[in-house]
Amino acid sequence: VAAALVADLAAFRDRHRLDRVVVVNVSSTEPVPDPHPAHARLEALSVALCEPGTVLPPSSLYAYAALRAGCPYVDFTPSTGARLPALAELAQAQRLPYAGHDGKTGETLVKSVLAPMFAMRNLAVRSWSGINLLGGGDGASLAEPGANAAKSVSKQRVLGETLGYVPEGTTSIEYVADIGDFKTAWDLVTFSGFLGTGMRLEFTWHGCDSALAAPLVLDLARITAAAHRAGRTGPLTELAFFFKDPLGDVDHALSAQWEALRRFVTGLE
């Protein structure tokens, strides 16, 4: 299968006479795959892919094919994608950049500015709970428990990284067909200030995920292509601005990510 995908990508590039193709994963969220020894080393993975049986989840199989075909790879979902040691090795061998994970379009975007606000003002966040109601294909996919678990982990990461501690509370996801391609997210934050005074913030975000994602996908394709042209290889940690669960040990506050992105893009020009 991998060889066929590589051939498809190469044929597409040739047919349209393109300098480069950036592969962006925008398919539905996968469950976390079972571990496999071939994930650790490129050589073992290459061998295993020639044998019958499933070694890689689809997102990683496409990442493998993209990198083999010489294409930078961007993961806009919380799926595994290029996040395996064997694929990092492949990207390095091919001298290709890659980026991810999980486009930060709505509720997590809001979290990434509110959580630093609480931290800057030294207000202790006691709990942060929320629910996401969404329809459409993405909603149907996330209602599946495995995908749901992968997504929820990605969504709460910003809190621990920004606050320095993890408040109680979880984010649940529910499929509601009537909401269609929009998503309604409700969050309740309880926090305490001077002398332990308890206070609350609630918000409701009603956004169209596709309309929020599309310009980010376009920017990611352009910036990743520019990074490739400029000879950048490996994980593009400077693109954390776009992701809920960014690669590398990076700042999760949106303003810091914005500054990092500006510097990166300016350096590519």
Q: Return the number of the residue (100 or 116) whose C-beta is nearest a second copy.
A: 116
Q: Return the number of the residue (47 or 177) whose C-beta is nearest a second copy.
A: 177
User: Tell me, what amino acid is at 268?
Assistant: L
Taking a C-beta distance cutoff of 8 angstroms, is the pair 76, 217 a contact?
yes
Residue 59: name the closest of 20, 22, 90, 31 by CA.
Answer: 31
Q: Return the number of the residue (79 or 105) whose C-beta is nearest a second copy.
A: 105
Binding site residues, a second copy, CB under 8 A: 109-110, 112-114, 116-117, 120-122, 126-127, 129, 131, 133, 168-170, 172, 174, 176-179, 182, 184, 186, 188, 190, 193-195, 197-208, 210-212, 214-215, 241, 253-256, 258
Q: Are strands 73-75 and 182-192 parallel, antiparallel or unpaired?
A: unpaired
Q: Return the number of the residue (13 or 203) whose C-beta is nearest a second copy.
A: 203
Torsion angles phi and psi, residue 36, rounded to 5: -145, 135
CB atoms near residue 222 (< 10 Å): 12
92: its two tokens: 């390095």
141: its two tokens: 């996919």
CB 102 to a second copy: min, Å: 16
CB 214 to a second copy: min, Å: 5
CB 158 to a second copy: min, Å: 13
Q: Return the number of the residue (44 or 153) whose C-beta is nearest a second copy.
A: 153
CB 66 to a second copy: min, Å: 25
Tally of CA atoms within 13 A in the half-sphere of 58 that contains its CB: 9
